[in-house]
Chains A and B, each alone.
Chain A
Amino acid sequence: MIFKFFIIKEIKKFPFFFFLLSSTLFLGTLALIGISVVSTQVQEKLKANANQLLTSDVAISARRELFPQEKIILDKIFQTTDHRSYEVIDIYSMVTRTKNGNSRLVEIRSTEDGFPFYGAIKTAEGAFTRGHLFISSDLADLWDMKPGEELKIGDVVMKISGVVVEDSSMGLRGFSLAPRLYFPLDKLKETGLIRPGATGSFVHHYKLQTFSLEKIKNLKSILSKSLTDTAIKISLPEDSSEQTGRAISAITNFMSLSGLVGLILALVGVFYLYQSHLVSRLKDLCLVNLFGLTKVKILLGILIQFSFIFSLVMILEILVLVPIYKLLSPKISNYLGLLLSSEINFSQILIEIPLLYVLSLTILSPLLLGLLRTSMGAQLKSQKISLGKFKAYDFIPFLVSLWLFSSYLGHSFKIGNIFFFSLMVIFLISTTMIKCVQWLIRKIILGKGLLLPNIEAGIALRGLVRSGHKLTLSFLSLVIGATLFSLILQLDKMIVNEFSNNSKRPSLFLFDIQEEQIDSLVELAKENGSPLAFITPMIRARLEKVNDIKFVRKKKDFDFRANEEDEDTRFRNNGMNLTYRDYLTDAEKIIDGRPFPPGGATPDRLPFISIEKRWSQRMGVKIGDKLTFDVQGVEFDGEVINIKEIKWTSFYPNFFVTIEPSLIEAAPKTFLSILPEGPKEIKRSLQYRVVEKFPNISFIDVEEMVKKMSLLFDKSRLAIELISWLSLGVGLVILYGLSHDQVYRRSYDLALMKVLGIRAGQIRLHLIFEFGAIFFSATGLGLVLGWLLAQLIAREVFKLSFSVDWLRLTGTWMLLSLLCLGTIFLASWRAVQTKPRVLLSDS
C-alpha cells in the first residue's frame, strides 16, 4: 500500500523529475553497457585471433631440431595431459621450376596433419589437404605458376596442388625475404634439406583437449624449467608479439573506462537530482512519518522507488540495445577487422546490471543516511526544513564500489587503481580550486556593495560562493567530463602525430643497391612504370665514443619494441646503420636544435649529425655531443646539431643517425629504395627486370603488412573519436539537467529580481555570469588535467614526448564553454520567464 504511494503517486506527481532521473540513468549506463558488449566480443575474438596466430595453445620453438633428450622431456611433460600436437618446420631453400630450370629462394613451411589447430588456411581450389604441395599467391604471381606445375624441392619433385590465398597464421609478419610454399612435413626428410647443419625454425605445437588458462600457464613454467637451453623458446598465444591484439585490447579497455566516466557523471547527476527532490519532498515525508510510517520504511520506500526506475531503465536499455547492436555489429566488425557475432552475449550484461545497481545505490546512500539523521518531528515545527547532513565517510561505499568496478572494466587492478587515483586527484584539485576561488571571491565582496561593477556581476559573484554543494557538484562533473574529452583529443592527436598517413605507402623495399647501379636502376624503374620513391644510402658503423669517452651501453636499456633477444648481447653491440642526407623526409621533423646548414660540411668544423629522439634518449646523447664512429675501420667524428622526431609508421627506411653530406660519403655503402603502392603486375615486372639486370639487389615485400597496420591505426582513431563525442554528449545532457534544476529552484529569486526592477535580460546575464564562470573554469581545468594525463600516458605507455597544441586546447576550451553556456541558456529560458505573480500568496 505504502509502496504504491511511493511509486505510482510520486511518479504521477513529479513526472519531470522522474523523467530527468531516468534519462540520466539511461544515458550513463547505455554508453557503458554498449561498450562492454562490444569489448567483450572483441576480447574474445582477440584471444581467438592470438590462438590463430600461434595456431596452437603452446609452442616450443628453436632454430634447430630438438635433441632426442629434449624430445623425451617434452613427451614426458605432455604425457599427463590429453593433447594433440604437430611440428612445423620453416626453412629457406632454393627451389627449381622443372619447366624451365629457373630457381629462386623460397620459404618452405612444412606442416603435419592437424595444422593449424586454430585458424585456417584457405586455398583457391578448396581445402588445404595434407600431403600436398601448395604455393602462396605471391609465388604464384611472381613466377606466373598454376596448379599442376612441377617444382623441385631438394631431392623431391612435386606437382603444385593449389594456391594459398589466406593464411591466418601470417598476421602482421610481413617481412619475408621470400615467398612461401607449403609442404608436407613427412616428405621433408626425403628432400634432404634438413640434414644436420640445416638452419630454420623448428616448432612443436600443442593443443590441450580441455583448455584452461591455468593449465597452460603451468605448462609454460614447467617447460621453461625443463628445457633450459636459451635457444629454445616457449610461447603462448599471448606472447606473439602481435601489436594489433595489444593495441585493440588497449583501446577497448580505454573505451570501457570512458564509458565508466559517463556513468560517473550520470551518478553525480542522480545524486544531485535526488538530493534536490528529497529536500522538496521532505515536508511531506515528515508528515508521513508523523502518521506512523517509520523512517526505515520511508527509506525502503525510496529504495523501492529507485529500484523500480532502475529496472525500467535497464529493460528499456536492453530493448534498445539489441536491435541497435544487430544493426551496427557488421559495421563494427568491419572496423575492427574482427568478425563479431550480431547476437549480444547476455551473460555479460546480466553480470553488469547488478553491479551498476549496487553502484547506484552506493551513490544514494549518503542521502538516505542523511534522511535517517533528520529529526522529522522537529522539522515540522520549524519553518525551515532541511535534510540531515551527510558525512564524508558516507561516500566510502561508493568509492569502494567505484574502484572495484573500474578494476573489473579495466581487467586489472592496476588499471583500476590508475583510474581511481586519477579521479581522486581530479576531485582533490577541483575542490581545492573551488575553495581557493571562493576564498578569493569572498575577499572581493567583503563589505562591498553589489555593483561589481554592475548588478549582474555582483549577484553572480555571491551566487558562486553561496550556492553550497550544488555548485561543487556541477563543477566537479564538468571537470571530469572535460578531462576525459581533453584526454581523448590529445591521445587522438598523438596517434595522428605518431602514425602518419603517407600517401606514398611502400609496397616493396629494395636493398643492397650498389652506388654505380643507381642511375640505371632509377631509369629502369621509370621505364617500367614504377618509379622509385626514395633512395637513401646506408653505411655500417659502430658508435665508439661520445665526447671522446669510450661508449658503453647501459645494460638496463631495453627497447620495448624490439624482439626478445639475449639481453647480454644486446648491450655489447653498438653496430648500426648511418645515412647521409641534406634534406628531411616527410616523416621527419626537427624538434630541437637547428637544421643542417646548406652546402654540407666545411673544414673548419666537425661534420654535423642529426639524431632521432628516442635513440638519443636510449643512448644518452644530446645536442652538442661529439660522436665518434668506427666506420668500417676508419674513425669518423661529428657533432650533434639537432634531434628529430620520426614517424616510423611512414614505413620508410628511417635512420637513427643522419650525417650531413661530408667525408662520410666516401665510406663503403649500399643503397635502399622504395617502390610505392601500385598495380601488382607492375610490381612483379619490376622485380623480374631488376633481378635480371642487377642480380645482387633483393626485395622485401611489405605491401600486406603496411596495409594492415595503416588500417589498424585509422580504426583506432575512429573508435577514439566516437567515444569522445559520446562522452561529450552525455556530459552536456547531464549538465543541462543539473543547470535546469538549479535555475528552476531559483525561480522565486528570479521572480523577485523582476519585481525589484531587474530586467529579464539582466537576470539572464547574471545567470550566464554565474554559471559561465563555473563552466569556463571547470572546462579550463578539465582540459589542462586531461592534457596532463595524456602526456603521462604517452610518456609511460607509448614513450612519446610532450607536445602542446595550444591552438587546439584553447579552441576546445571555447567550444566546450560555449556549448555549456548553450545549455544554461536553454535551461534558464523558462525560469527567467517566471511571472512575478508567483510570489504572491494565492499562488
Chain B
Amino acid sequence: MSHLKVKIRNLKKSFGQGESKIEVLKGINLDIETGEILALTGKSGSGKSTMLSLLAGLDSVDSGDIVIDGNNISQMSEKELANFRATNLGIVFQQFHLISTLTAIENILLPLELLNIPHSMELSKSLLDSVGLSHRAHHLPSELSGGECQRVALARALAIRPSLLLADEPSGNLDEETGEKVMDLLFKMVRETKTTLILVTHDPDLAKRCSRVVNLEYGSLA
C-alpha cells in the first residue's frame, strides 16, 4: 500500500530583494512515495540545498505547498514547524553536526527525550549498537572520527522513526573509504526501517544507488 509521503506543488523560493533578487526555485512539482529513496542531484547553485532546507522546514517557502504525510508544512508557524520536525523528520548533515557537549549516546537520546518517548535509553543503546558504536557510547564528538560522528548522526536521525529522512551530502566530508562505509550503513538502515529518504548529492555513483534520481537545474526539475 503506497501513498504519497511527500507532495510538492509549485514550490517557489527567491533570495534577495529588488534588483538583486534571485529565483532559486522556480516552481517545483514533485511526488515522493513512502519508502522511496530519492536522490536529488544538481550542480552547486542549482537549488538543491534550498529545496532540502524547505523540506526540512528550516526555511519558509515563498509560494507553493509542501505536504508531508498529509501535513502542509508551508502553512505552518515556526512553532508548529519545530514541533513537526521534532516528531517527523530526521536530518543528516554533511558536517555531521552533533551537540558538542553531549556524548554519542546522549546525542541519540536527545530527540527521543524531547518527545518523551518511553524506554529512550534502551532504544538509544540499540541504535548505537546498530551503527556499530556501542564501545564509543560515552565519548564526546571531539573524541570521535568523522565517520564515527556521521554514524552517530545517522542513529540520531533515525531514532524517532521519522516519516522522512533528509540527508545533505552525508559523505561529503569523509574520505572515500569511510564515506562508502557510512553510505552502506545508511542505505541498509533505511531499507530495513522502510524510511523515506531524500538524499542530496552531487555524486552520480551515489545517486545510482537510490531508487529514483531527480535532477535540479537552475531551479527547475529537469
Contacts and interface: CB of A to CB of B under 8 A. Distances in A.
Contacts of B95: 748, 839, 841
Interface of B: 44, 49, 52-53, 56, 58-59, 79, 82-83, 85-87, 91, 93-95, 97-102, 106, 109-111, 113-114, 116, 120-121, 140, 142, 145-146, 168-169, 172-173, 200
Contacts of A842: 44, 49
Q: Name the interface size band of chain A.
A: 20 to 34
Nearest to B58: A836
Contacts of B146: 383
Contacts of B83: 757
A840 B99 contact: no
Q: Which 7 A-B pairs have the closest CB atoms?
A: A757-B86, A841-B94, A842-B49, A466-B101, A463-B101, A836-B58, A383-B146
Instruction: Name which of B44, B79, B95, B99 has the most chain A CB atoms within 10 A of its CB.
Output: B99
B85 A746 contact: no
B109 A841 contact: no
Nearest to A840: B49
Interface in A19-45: none
B114 A756 contact: yes
B206 to A, nearest CB: 14
A840 B51 CA distance: 11
Nearest to B202: A841
Instruction: Name which of A450, A455, A754, A757 has the most chain B CB atoms within 10 A of its CB.
Output: A757
Contacts of A467: 101
A450 B83 CA distance: 18
A523 B78 CA distance: 85
B58 A455 contact: no
Given A383-B145, A384-B142, A755-B58, A839 B86 contact: no
Contacts of A836: 58
Contacts of A758: 82, 114
A699 to B, nearest CB: 76
Nearest to B106: A450
Contacts of A759: 79, 82
A462 interface: yes
A152 interface: no
A758 B85 CA distance: 10
Contacts of B116: 451
Given A384-B142, A466-B140, A467-B101, A841 B168 contact: yes
A276 to B, nearest CB: 14
A639 to B, nearest CB: 66
A841 B93 CA distance: 7
Given A759-B82, A842-B49, A749 B100 contact: yes
B114 A449 contact: no
Contacts of B106: 450, 462
Given A758-B114, A759-B79, A462 B93 contact: no
11 contacts: A449-B109, A450-B106, A466-B140, A467-B101, A752-B97, A756-B85, A756-B110, A757-B85, A840-B94, A841-B168, A841-B169
Contact of A835 (B58, B145, B173): B58
A304 to B, nearest CB: 32
B110 to A, nearest CB: 6
A741 to B, nearest CB: 15
B221 to A, nearest CB: 19
Given A462-B101, A749-B101, A752-B97, A450 B109 contact: yes
A459 B101 contact: yes
Contacts of B85: 755-757
A837 interface: yes
A438 to B, nearest CB: 13
A757 B82 contact: yes
A751 B173 CA distance: 19
B109 A756 contact: no
A445 to B, nearest CB: 9
A757 B101 contact: no
Contacts of A756: 85-86, 110-111, 114
A753 B98 CA distance: 9
A841 B46 CA distance: 13
Contacts of B110: 450, 455, 756
A675 to B, nearest CB: 72
Instruction: Name which of B49, B79, B114, B172 has the most chain A CB atoms within 10 A of its CB.
Output: B114
B30 to A, nearest CB: 19
A193 to B, nearest CB: 88
A554 B141 CA distance: 70
Nearest to B87: A757
